[in-house]
């Protein structure tokens, strides 16, 4: 797991040409190992630790996750899709949030701040769009 965090931090720094200054985490055990702590120290990353099992200490994360979950539930209910489409329903609000201007970013999008370019909106379409499906092929009895 620590390798994933290291790779992610290095990738973020390369993509944004900026350093990760701080990490806020919930005192989870995966962050407590010496190797990862040494990596944070080497990179100059400040660790801010929240008390365990207290999501109220990080209201932005809690509220953001709750909002995303509510949007996902609404998309599934409104579309009438089977719950097996949960992943698509969860990815859609996150995708839209990354393309939505934010007042805290002076009405820029998270996408444009991250990639330093204007996002393309050509991929936007209703969550449920009309499409054609191919009928399942019936196997020829002679082939079986």
2 neighbors 35 (Cβ within 8 angstroms): yes
pLDDT of residue 11: 92
| pLDDT at residue number 81 | 87
DSSP codes of every residue in 34-69: HHHHHHHHHHTPEEEEPPTT-GGGSHHHHHHHHHHH
What are the structure tokens assigned to 46, written together? 């400040």
Query: How confident is the model over 44-100, as pLDDT tens digits?
Result: 999 888 877 776 777 667 778 888 999 999 999 999 888 888 999 999 999 999 999
Q: Given a cut of 80, is residue 26 above it in pLDDT?
A: no
Residues 6+ apart with CB under 8 A from 80: 128
Mean pLDDT of the chain: 83
Q: What is the pLDDT at residue 144?
A: 44
pLDDT score at 129: 64
In eight-state DSSP terms, residue 108 is: B
Tell me, rounded to whole angstroms, the distance of Cα 95 from its chain centroid. 8
Output the pTM of the full model.
0.63
Q: List the structure tokens of 113.
A: 């701040």
Question: What percent of the chain clears pLDDT 70, i.e. is strictly above it?
Answer: 86
* pLDDT score for 143: 46
Q: What is the mean pLDDT of residues 118-125?
A: 89
Residue 25 has pLDDT above 70, yes or no: yes
Q: Determine the average pLDDT of the residues in 124-143.
A: 62
């Amino acid at each position: 797991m620590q390798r994933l965090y290291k790779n992610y931090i290095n990738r973020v720094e390369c993509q944004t040409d900026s350093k990760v200054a701080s990490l806020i985490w919930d005192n989870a055990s995966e962050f407590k190992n010496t190797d990862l702590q040494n990596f944070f120290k080497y990179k100059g990353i400040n660790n801010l630790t929240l008390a365990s099992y207290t999501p109220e200490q990080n209201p932005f994360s809690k509220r953001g996750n709750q909002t995303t979950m509510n949007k996902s539930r609404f998309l599934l209910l409104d579309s009438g899709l089977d719950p097996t489409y949960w992943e698509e329903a969860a990815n859609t609000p996150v995708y839209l949030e990354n393309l939505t201007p934010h007042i805290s970013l002076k009405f820029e999008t998270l996408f444009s701040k991250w990639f330093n370019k204007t996002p393309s909106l050509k991929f936007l379409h209703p969550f449920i769009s009309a499409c054609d499906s191919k009928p399942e092929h019936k196997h020829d009895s002679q082939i079986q």
